[in-house]
Structure 1
């Protein structure tokens, strides 16, 4: 059974994802497929326009590169990209999903010339739900469920990255390790649920003092580590001292004076003699131990 032209067009327009026919000069020569407004915006008005006319120069360059790549390789290529209706001229305010959409593009050479040009078929599939799920799973694998700080596994990954950067470019990196003083007594007196609330409050207060590129991680129990990129030990010591006074006040303010807590903090930084990041972790752990031995509620910096 052979389909006539009208039947073939009906088949193409019944496809669940939009199918673009794009020439090597960037002309939108055709658009087929069903534009479900839950997943896509209707882009039929783009036909007759060119890629540089409807998207930013950066996006246009990227699209054209992939068109030419598919033509040069004479085969299918797959790409993932983000795009919103607001970024496409003519689609502003069109019916469809809000915000940024993740797409998986399948780009393959078209076997016939269009207006005398080579062309590709570009199928755009909405994969936003999958990407959001992947992001949630990644976040869950890197996050401590109680305090919503980084977990120990993610901490080690970040330290490895910073150590490699330090070894190549000598960018400084400091570390603070701290724990809650007399946390066992707090749990025994007020219960573990109250202890959990104190840890959450402590982390919330700590984050308010940190920069966007600093990392707060739960190392274990009531012990936490802060990674401070582009920071020396002297600078980190100033941050640690601010934390020492602020954290106690913040927890008491949120949970009540009877739950006022203190913290002990150790500080160190990467040294040129370090062969791995475990060495700075050992020094900062020693500094914390000295702070606790000296009476707690204090900052100790490990001397280089």
Structure 2
């Protein structure tokens, strides 16, 4: 017993996921499936159109790259991608159901036969919105300090390792700032640990307000924070450290029974060509931090050029 072409088409059309057929010039000949109830169907918008007619230039270029790379490699290609209202080029009346960013997984397989003289691919798209949101949530929990909302040690060391490799490959500067709250144990002993927790949370907000979007601030444990500043030389990192120190000094920290003034000591270092591991970068920052505390606290020190302010 063999299935007829009509029966095969009926079976494929019943699939919950979208199955599209693209020619190598980005024209969507048809789509099958897509029986799940979604508020937005990209497949129906694409059918009978070129990707460049549906999407903005950047997104259309990405679609074309996936199609052509699949044809060139002659292998199954799996990619995750998002589509947002900003990606759409069609009139609002056609794409109005797309209210937010939607995530998909594409399984792209090159066809062995030609379509009107062109090579083509089958593009099976599955909506992975719920899975993506869960993965993002799990990732956030795995790399975030639960008390302050800063990144945790795991994320810090992962980022430091990446910047360390980048520096030795491309010589892109990266500096490190270590921050420690002065007399934090005395604060906990005198005012209680809930007060200490509130200060840690507020301190992170003060630090964050002085950083760029590309900078990464992590709580290393206890009262210590570390900051990675990509594309930043050590002298510029020292200027940033001083800006943070002064902002903390001027901040009035509130807790259940009143307010406190808090100060921090800061050590600054940067990745250098002589470093053979990330540990040496951390050690220099720790040494500078120790020097800041030894010199009277509430100050920033820069390794090699220990500067007292």
Structure 1 range deviating more: 181-190 or 12-21? 12-21
Deviation at 1:74, TM superposition (A): 4.9
Q: How does 1:50-61 map to 2 (within 5 A)?
A: 50-61=50-61
Report the equivalent of 1:300.
301
The residue that corresponds to 1:171 in the other structure is 172
CA distance in 1, matches of 2:198, 2:64: 53
1:110-147 alpha-carbon deviations (Å, 9 max, x no partner):
56654454443221111122222222222222211111
- Write out aligned runs for 1:9-28 (5 A): 9-28=9-28
Partner of 2:208: 207
Structure 1: how far apart are the matches of 2:276 and 2:75?
46
Q: Is the 8 A contact 1:102 1:128 kept in 2?
A: yes
Note the 1:177-196 alignment, pairs <5 A.
177-196=178-197
CA RMSD in angstroms, aligned pairs only: 2.8
Tell me the SS of whatever aligns to 2:59. Answer: helix
Q: TM-score, normalised by structure 2?
A: 0.84
The number of aligned residues is 304
Q: TM-score, normalised by structure 1?
A: 0.86
User: Would you say the 8 A contact 1:202–1:251 is kept in 2?
Assistant: no
Deviation at 1:159, TM superposition (A): 1.7
Identify the residue that residue 247 of structure 1 maps to in structure 2. Answer: 248
1:229 aligned residue: 230
Question: Where does structure 1 differ by over 6 angstroms across 4 or more consecutive aligned residues?
Answer: 253-257
SS of 1:141 mapped into structure 2: helix
CA drift at 1:44? 3.2
Written as runs of structure 1 = structure 2, the 5 A alignment for 1:82-93 is 82-84=82-84, 87-90=87-90, 92-93=92-93
Could you tell which deviates more after superposition, 221-230 or 161-170? 161-170
- SS class of match (1:20): strand
| SS of structure 2 residue aligned to 1:252 | strand
Q: Secondary structure at 1:266's aligned position in 2?
A: strand
Equivalent residue number for residue 217 of structure 2 = 216
Once the 2 structures are TM-superposed, how far is the Cα of residue 245 of structure 1 from its aligned partner?
2.2
SS at match of 1:140: helix
String of CA shifts for 1:167-218, please: whole Å, max 9, x gaps: 2333333222121111111112221111101000001001101111122111
